[in-house]
Structure formats: C-alpha cells, structure tokens
Structure 1
C-alpha cells in the first residue's frame, strides 16, 4: 500500500508540476492534492513506525510520544478532509467550465483557486482544533503489556460536536461531487439537444452518461473507499481481540486509499493530463539517458 501510494503520488506530482496542467483552477487543486497525498503517506509511515517501535519498547520517550499523539492524528485528519474538499473543488470547477463555456476566465479561476484552497485548509484546521486538546497518554495497566497508549476523551458536548463535524466534512464534499456530476451530465445533454435536435433528450443523456462514465466510476470509487473512514471515526473503545484488531487496522488503512488514487481517477481518464504526463515521462527518460551516458 505504501509503495502504491508513493508511486501514485510521485506520478501525480510530476503530471501537475507541468504548467499546462495548471492553467486553470482545476489543475491547481489537483497539484495541491498530489502534494497533500504525499504528506499523508509520509505521516502515515511515521505513525506506523512509531507504533511499531513503541510496542517493541524501543521508543519510550514520553515527550516524543506525547507530541506524536497530539500532532500526527491531527495532521492526518486535516489532510484527509482537505483532500476530499479539493476533489469537490475540482467538481465545482468543471461545473463552472460547462456553465460559462467560452466565457470561462482561466486566469481568474487559477487566482480564486489559491484563495479557496487556503481558506478551506484554515477552516478545516479550526474545526479540528478540539482534537489535540483532548488527547493524552495513558499507561497500560496490563502487567503483560505495560505499554503507553494515545487516547482521546471527549465530554458529551464535544463528542456531539466532533460527530457533527465528522459527518459534515464527509457529506459536504460528497454531495458536491454527486450534484456536480449530475449537473454536468444533464447540462451537456441539454446543450447537445439544442445543437442536434434530431436526437431525443433521453438519447443525449445516455450518450453523456457513456461519455462521463469515468467520472461516475471515480465518484463511486471515492464514496466506497471513504466509507470505512467515516465508520471508524464513530467507533470508540479499545479492541483486545486480535481478529478485531486486524479488521480495524485493515479498515483504517483502507480509508487512506482515496488520497492515493489521484493519478488513477484524474490523470489517466483525461486526455490532456495524460498527454502532459507522457511529456514529462519522456523528458525524465531523456535526462536519465543523458546522465547514464556521462
């Protein structure tokens, strides 16, 4: 999983590092998402090794464990949520492109995208600021284990707030993606009906569904992969059963997949992005050949 995420992240960064892919806000959102996905992967690897080392009693510095307890989960939560909103912004950008047509301002779109990304990130940070405040370390009372655990304990009011925020940050990007995709398909079908009246609206709608099949598949994939993260966020308590632990761990890691498939769901289906990827790939191969010949 880590290798897959690393490869996908690098390929996405290489693609959206090209200026032509960032002529509009859509490319900028995906560029930020690519770097954000790499950050998530790095933090996940750090957390994984910190857990392994602490369970092996190699890492037992309480100050380091406490800082990791406060920071790592917060960064992961914020970055995962930020990625969901970036995907939502891409959908909104596509809607604006379809709605405005030739009147779509690419330069203004890119400028707005920078401010929107910053505002969304700050908003997400503010809505998650309660999490590190309620985190602390506890010592395992089990004589056989005697390990240090990072736990979060909310009061009833904070628990309600946390549940609301979690659900809000899950549903808003999801609804944006769903509504945007439906709007684009219907709007394009109506436009084509005006140009080609010999076909019925239903026929145009079927053609647009077929044309945007990759977007629909990507949407369903994102929803399916995001569900485990939502379910886990509402599960509390410790699991002693090894079977339950592995199930929880698998679901937890599974929830990171949406942030690791930017290249698959956005670059590969797009002719323009794929062309730019092939260009940067050719340039990279040429540079490597030049270095090798030296």
Structure 2
C-alpha cells in the first residue's frame, strides 16, 4: 500500500490528463487503507506480545487451541475496530484543482502554456483535528504499552519461576539472566516508539507550522513513520540473539541445499 500510494502520487503529478474521478477516488481511499494496514500491523504485534505474556503466565496450562481460536477472531475484528476510528477521514478529503497559465513569446507568436495542478487536501475543524491527534496517540502508544508491559511481565515472571525451581541463585541473578535473554522484547518497543515520534510531533505542530515552508520536514516524518513496518528484520531480529541464531541456521540450510 505504501508503494501504491507513492506511485499514485508520482504518476498523477506527471500525467495531468488523468480524470478527476480517478484522482478523487485515490485521494479518499489510498491513504485510509494505508493507515488501516499500518495500524493493524502495530496492533497485531501488540497482540502477539500479549499472547506471549499470557503463555508465560499459564505455563503448561496454556491452551494452544483456544489461543488459535481467539487469534482468528482478533484478526477478523481488529480491522473493523480500527476502521471505525478513521472512517470519517474520506469525508474531509477533497481534490484541489487549478490551472496556472504562463504567457510565452516566441519571435512573432504569443501563446499560453497551461500547467495543471491537482492536490489531495484535507480540511478539519479544530474538534476533528483534536480527535485525529488523540486517535494517533492511541494507535501509537497503545501497542507500545502492550509490548512494553508484556515484555517486562515475561522477564519478571520467568525469573520468579526459575528462582522457585533453582534456589542456588537469587531472584536478582535469575532476573539478570532473563533480562539478557529477553532484552530485545523491551528494546524493540522503544525503537518502534522512537520511529513513530516524528509523526506525533508533526501532528502537534500542524496547526502552527507553515507546511509549504517545511515540506521536507513533513515528508521525512511521513516516511520515517512507516519504517517500522518496512524494517521488521532490523527492529525485531537483529536485537535478539535467539532470532539471529535461527536466522543463521536457516541461511546455512538454504545454502547447503544449493
């Protein structure tokens, strides 16, 4: 969806003969779908973190079949819940279209060159803008809190159980071992939050900053906000020693077959 959004903007700006109906349809739908998939990605990661913590809490009593049952329902219901929070956006999106005429004189001939400009614009009232900011904070901070508290629960609960079974070491020693083993579960949410921070800052500054004077600032924040979904390997695999080990083993098996 990110690639579709990018090339839609590029092609529509290069080809001015595209019908306005196509432009309006893309304006009202592509960004909404992009947000839907982006929020689904972050919330599904949070659901995985919560399930992992619940697995540690239940231990051997964890019901895998029931977990799969709930997972199917969450995958089905979650997009509808997210869509209800952003369903209003197409109503405030519209096409702004204007022609710029330039007079050109070539020897004895005078003619006009028409440069056509088409932009997808949004116009929110203050109450709607405040609502959008609140929803953005919920979709960014909600998964972050779920990931962080689930990771901390896994580390503390695992250390407590090991201290009860292996009394030769203190609880602090087991806690340190569990931190070294699962620290990537705490590091990853902070990386995701850090990469999402520019989007939050831009949403707060949008009312008092001239957008056209800071285009690169807005574009950079927009691209950075999607980097967690693009850089899954860097965010989740590289910080984890166990994931890196499995990744190396997988590569070794692939190259061995070849």
* Same fold per superposition (TM over 0.5): yes
- Look up the match of 2:219: 249
Q: Is residue 140–residue 147 contact of structure 1 (8 Å, CA) maintained in 2?
A: yes
Question: What is the aligned counterpart of 1:227 among 190, 197, 207?
Answer: 197
- Look up the match of 1:8: none
**Deviation larger for 259-268 or 151-160:** 259-268
Does residue 1:88 correspond to 2:46, yes or no? yes
Q: Offset at 1:255?
A: 0.9
* Coordinate RMSD, CA, aligned: 2.8
Normalising by structure 1, what TM-score? 0.73
Q: Measure the CA separation in 2 of the matches of 1:132 and 1:281.
A: 49
Q: 1:198 aligns to what SS in structure 2? A: coil
RCO higher in structure (CA 8 A, sep ≥6): 1
Q: Offset at 1:259?
A: 0.8
- Look up the match of 1:203: 173
Q: Is residue 140–residue 149 contact of structure 1 (8 Å, CA) maintained in 2?
A: no
Q: Offset at 1:83?
A: 0.9
**Deviation larger for 140-149 or 175-184:** 140-149
Q: Which consecutive unaligned segments of at least 5 residues does structure 2 have?
A: 103-114
Does residue 1:120 correspond to 2:92, yes or no? no
Normalising by structure 2, what TM-score? 0.82
Does residue 1:173 correspond to 2:143, yes or no? yes
Q: Measure the CA separation in 2 of the matches of 1:270 and 1:116.
A: 30
Q: Measure the CA separation in 1 of the matches of 2:183 and 2:197.
A: 22
Q: Which consecutive unaligned segments of at least 5 residues does structure 1 have?
A: 1-42, 290-294
Q: Is residue 50–residue 59 contact of structure 1 (8 Å, CA) maintained in 2?
A: no
Could you say if the C-alpha distance between residues 154 and 112 of structure 1 is closer, same or farther in structure 2, counting changes exceeding 3 Å? same
- Look up the match of 2:66: 108
- Look up the match of 2:185: 215
**Deviation larger for 87-96 or 184-193:** 184-193
Question: What is the aligned counterpart of 1:262 among 232, 248, 256?
Answer: 232
Q: Which protein shows a greater Rg?
A: 2
Q: Measure the CA separation in 2 of the matches of 1:226 and 1:202.
A: 33
Question: What is the aligned counterpart of 2:93 among 129, 132, 135?
Answer: 135
Q: Is residue 141–residue 193 contact of structure 2 (8 Å, CA) maintained in 1?
A: no
Q: Please identify runs of 4+ aligned residues in structure 1 that moved more than 3 A.
A: 57-60, 140-146, 263-286
